[in-house]
Structure 1
Amino acid sequence: MLPMELTDEVLKSMEVGMAFRDYNGRISSMDFHRAASYLVTASDDESIRLYDVQNGMCLKTINSKKYGVDLVCFTDHPTTVIYSSKNGWDESLRHLSLNDNKYLRYFKGHHDRVVSLSLCPRKEFFVSGSLDRTVLLWDQRTEKSQGLLRVQGRPAVSYDDQGMVFAIAYGGCIRMFDARKYEKGPFDIFSVGGDMSDANVLKFSNDSRLMLLTTSDGFIHVVDSFRGTLISTYNVKPVSSHATLEASFSPDGMFIVSGSGDGSVCAFSVRSGKVACWGSTDSEPPLIKWAPGSLIELEILNVKGRVWIQKTRK
Structure 2
Amino acid sequence: MADSQQHTPVPQTSTGAAPQFQKLPDIIRSHRPCKCFRNSKSESSNFVTSLDFNDQGEHMVAACDDETIQIFDVKEGKSTKTVPSKKYGVHLARFTHHPRQVLHASTKVDHSLRLLDLHNEGYIRYFSGHTDKVTCLAMSPGSDSFISCSKDDTVTLWDIGSRNPQGKLKLATPYLVAFDPSASVIAIASQSTSSVLLYDFRNFDKPPFATFDLAPYEETYTPSTRGRAWTRLEFSNDGKYLMVGTDYHGHFVLDAFDGSIKAFLTGKGGSPGRAAPISATAKPLGQGDACFTPDGRYVLGGNGDQQDVLVWDLQQERESNGMLFPMVKLPHRNRTALIEHNPRYNMIATADKETFFWQPDEPAKPSEK
Q: Establish whether residue 21 from structure 1 lines up as the match of residue 44 from structure 2.
A: no
Q: Whole-Å Cα distance in 2 between the matches of residues 211 and 4 of structure 1?
A: 28
Q: Establish whether residue 188 from structure 1 lines up as the match of residue 210 from structure 2.
A: yes
Question: Cα deviation per residue 1:175-210 (whole Å; 9 max; x = unaligned)?
Answer: 111001121121011133134224211011112221
* Native 8 Å contact 1:263 1:279 kept in 2: no
CA-based RMSD of the aligned residues comes to 2.0
Q: Whole-Å Cα distance in 1 between the matches of residues 352 and 248 of structure 2?
A: 21
Counterpart among 288, 291, 295 of residue 342 in structure 2: 291
Q: Whole-Å Cα distance in 1 between the matches of residues 110 and 49 of structure 2?
A: 18
- Amino acid paired to 1:49: Q
Counterpart among 128, 136, 142 of residue 162 in structure 2: 142
* Native 8 Å contact 2:55 2:343 kept in 1: yes
TM-score normalised to structure 1 length: 0.91
* Native 8 Å contact 1:154 1:199 kept in 2: no
| 1:211 alignment partner in structure 2 | 242
Higher mean C-alpha displacement, 140-149 vs 187-196: 187-196
Which runs of structure 2 are paired with 1:83-122 in the superposition (5 Å)?
83-87=104-108, 89-122=109-142
Question: Cα deviation per residue 1:149-195 (whole Å; 9 max; x = unaligned)?
Answer: 12212521011112111100113221111001121121011133134
How many residues of Structure 1 are paired with residues of Structure 2 in the alignment? Answer: 308
Q: Identify if the C-alpha distance between structure 1 residues 263 and 73 changes in structure 2 by more than 3 Å, giving closer, same or farther.
A: farther
In structure 2, runs of 5+ residues without a counterpart are 1-18, 219-225, 280-284, 317-323, 363-369
Q: Identify if the C-alpha distance between structure 1 residues 44 and 251 changes in structure 2 by more than 3 Å, giving closer, same or farther.
A: same
* Native 8 Å contact 1:110 1:132 kept in 2: yes
Counterpart among 244, 252, 259 of residue 228 in structure 1: 259
In structure 1, runs of 5+ residues without a counterpart are none
Higher mean C-alpha displacement, 190-199 vs 246-255: 190-199
Compare CA radii of gyration and give the structure with the larger one.
2
Aligned partner of residue 98 in structure 2, secondary structure: coil
Q: Whole-Å Cα distance in 2 between the matches of residues 112 and 118 of structure 1?
A: 17
Higher mean C-alpha displacement, 237-246 vs 202-211: 237-246
| 2:289 alignment partner in structure 1 | 246
State the Cα distance separating 1:230 from its structure 2 match.
Answer: 1.0
| 2:29 alignment partner in structure 1 | 12
Question: Cα deviation per residue 1:119-168 (whole Å; 9 max; x = unaligned)?
Answer: 00111100011111111111111111111112212521011112111100
Q: Identify if the C-alpha distance between structure 1 residues 3 and 100 changes in structure 2 by more than 3 Å, giving closer, same or farther.
A: farther
- Amino acid paired to 2:292: F
Q: Whole-Å Cα distance in 1 between the matches of residues 271 and 249 of structure 2?
A: 4
State the Cα distance separating 1:47 from its structure 2 match.
Answer: 0.9
State the Cα distance separating 1:16 from its structure 2 match.
Answer: 1.1
Q: Whole-Å Cα distance in 2 between the matches of residues 199 and 149 of structure 1?
A: 20
- Amino acid paired to 1:275: M
State the Cα distance separating 1:285 from its structure 2 match.
Answer: 5.1
TM-score normalised to structure 2 length: 0.78
Q: Whole-Å Cα distance in 2 between the matches of residues 3 and 141 of structure 1?
A: 45
Counterpart among 299, 302, 308 of residue 351 in structure 2: 302
Question: Cα deviation per residue 1:251-307 (whole Å; 9 max; x = unaligned)?
Answer: 11000011243254321111223112346676x65210000033x31x211132x11
Q: Identical aligned pairs, as a percentage?
A: 31
Which runs of structure 2 are paired with 1:61-100 in the superposition (5 Å)?
61-87=82-108, 89-100=109-120
* Native 8 Å contact 2:57 2:342 kept in 1: no
